[in-house]
Amino acid sequence: RRSRRAAALKSPYSSPAPSSRKIEFDCELELVSSGICQLKRISEAFDDAIMKEERNFNTNTSCTSLSRD
């Protein structure tokens, strides 16, 4: 009986987590959210750099092809 009860208490479907676990979960969630925001900013910076590089490449390619004609 005790092992069943212990297993039931560890189940994710058991009663709500104690407040200390909720606070810990909230902190971890905040860290994950912060990390996602940082990754989004880095991704946008890479996108901007790639688009700038592509514009420069296309501009240089256009000028080169015009001077060859």
For residue 60, the model assigns a pLDDT of 80
- pTM beyond cutoff 0.85: no
Span 22-44, pLDDT tens digits = 889 999 999 999 999 999 999 99
pLDDT > 90: percent of the chain: 46
- How far apart CA 32 and CA 3 sit, in angstroms, is 34
Give residue limits of the domains in the chain.
18-61
